[in-house]
Amino acid sequence: MKNKMIVIDGVDGSGKGVQTRRLHQALLADGMRSILTREPGGSAAAEDIRKLLVEGEPDKWDSMTELLLMYAARRTHLNDTIQPALKRGDWVISDRFADSSRAFQGIAGELGLEVVEKVHQLVVGSFAPDLVLILDIPESVALRRALARGGGEDRFEKKGAEYQARVRQAFKQVAATDNRLYQVIDANQSIDAVTVQVFDTVNRQFQLSLKVNKDIE
């Protein structure tokens, strides 16, 4: 199987972190080359931009400024990390990608999907991941988890439950546009049960037989 890019996305606190780590480690354990990356971030320059985005007060940037910063970060992530990895033959596992911009800035942030698509075309063009898994979980459960983490990277979480509820619905709306690219996974279950669903989906789609290592957290 040729190397692919798989994205795991969803509301803040949906459990993407552990699922991306498990997937990445399972690929390595099966003898494949894989990188684990994230957005906003994933390259040195994009990690600098990440700090601007995730720290501070919610109204520091409006939705359009957020979108432009996200896509500035995405451009260096693509050029410096994702494209070179795919060229080398590595699998790419990313914690978030462009669907976060569609859901957070486009729909929840009320910019509109047309505006996001214009910027997306300029920066990303026709490039797309091979599979996007959306972890779906009630925003109240997710928000509690996300805020409990602490650490100061909580600018989006501070936008509140109503914003996160819009983000949840937005991801479902985006996922409904292409049922081959997107798979929605019920993440309101134990971490291990979610992993089983993630691995079943990936194994089926790419004819793999990855095995879950539950010790990875």
Please work out the total of residues on this chain that contact ligand TMP, with binding judged by CB under 6 A: 14
38 touches 5 (CB < 8 A): no
| Dihedral (CA of 45, 50, 53, 55) sign | negative
Encode 119-139: b = buried (16+ Cβ within 10 Å), e = exposed: bbeebbeeeebbbbbbbbbbb
Nearer to ligand TMP, 159 or 210 (CB): 159
CA distances from 40 to 71, 134, 189 (A): 9, 17, 26
Q: Per CB under 6 A, does 171 bind ligand TMP? A: no
Nearer to ligand TMP, 91 or 156 (CB): 156
Nearer to ligand TMP, 4 or 96 (CB): 96
Q: Per CB under 6 A, does 12 bind ligand TMP? A: yes
Q: Which of residues 89-128 bind ligand TMP (CB under 6 A)?
A: 96, 100-101, 104-105
Nearer to ligand TMP, 30 or 110 (CB): 110
Q: Which of residues 140-169 bind ligand TMP (CB under 6 A)?
A: 153, 156
The angle formed by the CA atoms of residues 64, 178 and 36, to the nearest 5 degrees, is 70
Residue of 3, 4, 7 lying closest to 183 (CA atoms): 7
Q: Per CB under 6 A, does 54 bind ligand TMP? A: yes
Rg (CA), the chain: 16
Q: What is the enclosing helix (H) or strand (E) of 118?
A: helix 113-123
Nearer to ligand TMP, 30 or 62 (CB): 62
> Mask: binding to ligand TMP, 55-84, rule CB under 6 A, as x and -?
---------------x--------------
Q: Per CB under 6 A, does 10 bind ligand TMP? A: no
What is the binding site for ligand TMP (CB under 6 A)? 12, 38-40, 53-54, 70, 96, 100-101, 104-105, 153, 156
